[in-house]
């Protein structure tokens, strides 16, 4: 389970669609000691809650699961360099590795050294080469073009940074991944072809990622549900044809059908009052819910335990007779229609189509599907984890792919 350090929400970019604008602080102020104390406390608590599952893994001869600590923002690389090091070191000391989600602009030689030292998995937020990335960055189009070039260059630098290995004949590099937000500027017409080409290039370098639908409420930016359905389906088909290891959410849907644990939070009964998969440690050390739910400019602290309330509401509404309910659970709370958590995800139609297509493909290839999950009520424990609600959440930030652990459905680059 990931612990996300969100001590600083300031950013050097002003991306047009960022969901954090309403809560962005002007000043970079945080209580480092309080943040650290909460991270340590949460780590210990989460590790304890994993005991049962880790025992099971041990019996199966598998390595134990551990919580992960990821430095988020705002933009984490605008922090003073000693604080960046402090947080990466903290993650490393606790879990043996660390993570960061960054816009990638401020990566320097010193930062790269830290990434090596603290075994940092580097998640880049970028929507493709320019002009696909035009909604990200700050200033004029020309500036954003330059910024995009620099970010892509930094991605290359990360991928080409060697890390020490026990076997001198086997080279290893830093791990990188991509979160790509899909919107009208990169998912339609010819631009989608450029996007596909870029995804292929990344795949050839061993990079994977996650495709998130943009959700600003601005029809000039967001895809319509129809456009999103068409674009996601096309990208899924493209990855199938090219043999590209699936990005999230395709990978999560496949894992869901196979009954595996690594399924993104979007499909895991997210409770808006707890968001078990997004343990956000805020600037004063308090725990907030997933920041996607701060759209009205207020900061919401989280409850200790998941209530299963959204699940209980949704199963009485549109989702009631849906074939995919026990896989999808109504999708992302932060993307609920009208931003009302009592509604299902606004991209429901896209998920329906993807679930059907992917299920049929798996069947066609003779892949055994796990038995359909039983309907889960607040009294029924999670089939896989034994927990009463929430379960082993996967927030889309840290994913595991076979032996590789990676950020937000990225795959750690285990290049030979
Ligand atoms: S696909 Fe749509 S209707 Fe079905 S469970 Fe998901 S959100 Fe609800
Ligand atoms: S489902 Fe959506 S709101 Fe819930 S934790 Fe995941 S991203 Fe956040």
Model pLDDT for residues 163-186, shown as the tens digit of each residue:
999 888 889 999 999 999 999 999
- Decide: residue 222, CB within 10 A, 0-12 exposed, 13-18 middle, 19+ buried: buried
CA atoms within 13 A on the CB side of 242: 19
Q: Which ligand is nearest to the CA of 319?
A: 1
Cα of 327 from ligand 1 centre, angstroms = 9
Cα of 275 from ligand 2 centre, angstroms = 6
Q: Which ligand is nearest to the CA of 215?
A: 2
Cα of 72 from ligand 1 centre, angstroms = 30
Phi first, then psi: give them for residue 12, nearest 5 degrees. Answer: -85, -10
Output the six-digit token pair for 10: 């300031």
Quick one: pLDDT at residue 218? 94
Exposure letters 145-156 (e unless 16+ CB within 10 A, then b): bebbeebbebbe
Domain limits of the chain? 2-301+390-407
Q: Which CATH number fits the domain 2-301+390-407, given the four candidates 3.50.50.60, 1.10.1740.10, 3.20.20.70, 3.40.50.300? A: 3.20.20.70
Confidence (pTM): 0.89
Cα of 316 from ligand 1 centre, angstroms = 12
The protein residue with its alpha carbon nearest to ligand 1, atom 3, reads 319
As beta bridge partners, residue 353 has: none
Q: Is the dihedral angle over the CA atoms 3, 290, 280, 108 positive or is it negative?
A: positive
Do 180 and 128 form a contact (C-beta atoms < 8 A)? yes
Pocket around ligand 1 at a 6 A CB cut-off = 318-319, 322, 324-325, 328, 330-331, 344-345, 348, 351-352
As beta bridge partners, residue 281 has: 5, 287
Quick one: which atom of ligand 1 is closest to the CA of 329?
5
The protein residue with its alpha carbon nearest to ligand 1, atom 5, reads 325
Quick one: pLDDT at residue 375? 65
Cα of 191 from ligand 1 centre, angstroms = 29
The protein residue with its alpha carbon nearest to ligand 1, atom 2, reads 348
Quick one: pLDDT at residue 276? 81
Q: Residues in the chain with pLDDT < 70? A: 373-416
The torsion angle over the Cα atoms of residues 313, 315, 316 and 322, rounded to 10 degrees, is 150
Going by DSSP bridges, is the β-strand pair 398-401/404-407 parallel, antiparallel, or unpaired?
antiparallel
Which among 249, 263, 330 is the best mutation to test ligand 1's pocket, defined by most ligand atoms within 8 Å of the CB?
330
Segment (H or E) for 109:
helix 109-117
Cα separation, 14 vs 29, in Å, equals 19
Do 39 and 281 form a contact (C-beta atoms < 8 A)? yes
Do 408 and 264 form a contact (C-beta atoms < 8 A)? no
Concatenating the DSSP letter of every residue in 40-90 gives HHHHHHHHHHTHHHHHHHHHTTPPPP--EEEE-SS-GGGS-HHHHHHHHHH
Cα of 309 from ligand 1 centre, angstroms = 16
Cα separation, 268 vs 274, in Å, equals 13
Q: Which ligand is nearest to the CA of 267?
A: 2
Cα of 284 from ligand 2 centre, angstroms = 22
Q: Which ligand is nearest to the CA of 355?
A: 1
List the one residue out of 145, 204, 144, 212 whose CA is nearest residue 178.
212
Quick one: pLDDT at residue 414? 33
Q: Which ligand is nearest to the CA of 354?
A: 1
Output the six-digit token pair for 301: 């602290």
Quick one: pLDDT at residue 377? 55
Cα of 279 from ligand 1 centre, angstroms = 25
């Amino acid at each position: 389970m990931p612990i996300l350090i969100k001590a600083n929400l300031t950013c050097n970019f002003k991306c047009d669609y960022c969901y954090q604008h309403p809560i962005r602080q002007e000043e970079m102020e945080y209580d480092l000691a309080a943040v650290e104390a909460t991270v340590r406390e949460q780590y210990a608590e989460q590790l304890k809650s994993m005991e049962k599952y880790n025992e099971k893994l041990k019996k199966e001869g598998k390595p134990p699961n551990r919580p992960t600590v990821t430095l988020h923002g705002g933009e984490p690389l605008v922090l003073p360099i000693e604080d960046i090091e402090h947080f990466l070191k903290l993650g490393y000391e606790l879990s043996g590795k660390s993570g960061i989600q960054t816009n990638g602009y401020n990566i320097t030689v010193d930062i790269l050294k830290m990434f090596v030292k603290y075994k940092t998995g580097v998640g880049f937020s970028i929507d493709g080469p320019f002009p696909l990335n035009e909604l990200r960055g700050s200033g004029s189009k020309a500036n954003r073009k330059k910024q995009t070039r620099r970010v892509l260059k930094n991605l290359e630098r990360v991928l080409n940074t060697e890390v020490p290995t026990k076997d001198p004949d086997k080279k290893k590099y830093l791990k990188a991944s991509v979160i790509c937000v899909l919107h009208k500027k990169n998912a339609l017409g010819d631009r989608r072809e450029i996007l596909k080409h870029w995804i292929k290039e990344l795949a050839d370098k061993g990079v994977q990622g996650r495709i998130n639908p943009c959700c600003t409420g601005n029809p000039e930016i967001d895809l319509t549900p129809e456009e999103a359905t068409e674009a996601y389906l096309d990208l899924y088909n493209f990855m199938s044809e090219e043999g590209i290891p699936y990005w999230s959410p395709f990978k999560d849907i496949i894992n869901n059908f196979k009954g595996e644990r690594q399924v993104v939070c979007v499909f895991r009964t997210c409770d808006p009052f707890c968001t078990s998969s997004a343990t956000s440690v805020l600037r004063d050390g308090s725990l907030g819910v997933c920041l996607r739910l701060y759209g009205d400019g207020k900061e919401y602290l989280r409850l200790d335990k998941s209530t299963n309330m959204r699940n209980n509401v949704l199963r009485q509404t549109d989702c009631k007779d849906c074939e995919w309910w026990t896989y999808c659970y109504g999708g992302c709370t932060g993307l609920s229609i009208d931003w009302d958590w009592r509604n299902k995800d606004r991209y429901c139609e896209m998920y329906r189509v993807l679930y059907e297509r992917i299920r049929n493909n798996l069947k066609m290839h003779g892949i055994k599907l796990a038995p359909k999950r039983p309907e889960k009520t607040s009294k029924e424990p999670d089939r896989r984890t034994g927990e009463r609600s929430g379960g082993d959440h996967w927030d889309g930030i840290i994913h595991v792919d076979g032996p590789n652990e990676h950020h937000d459905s990225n795959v750690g680059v285990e290049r030979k």
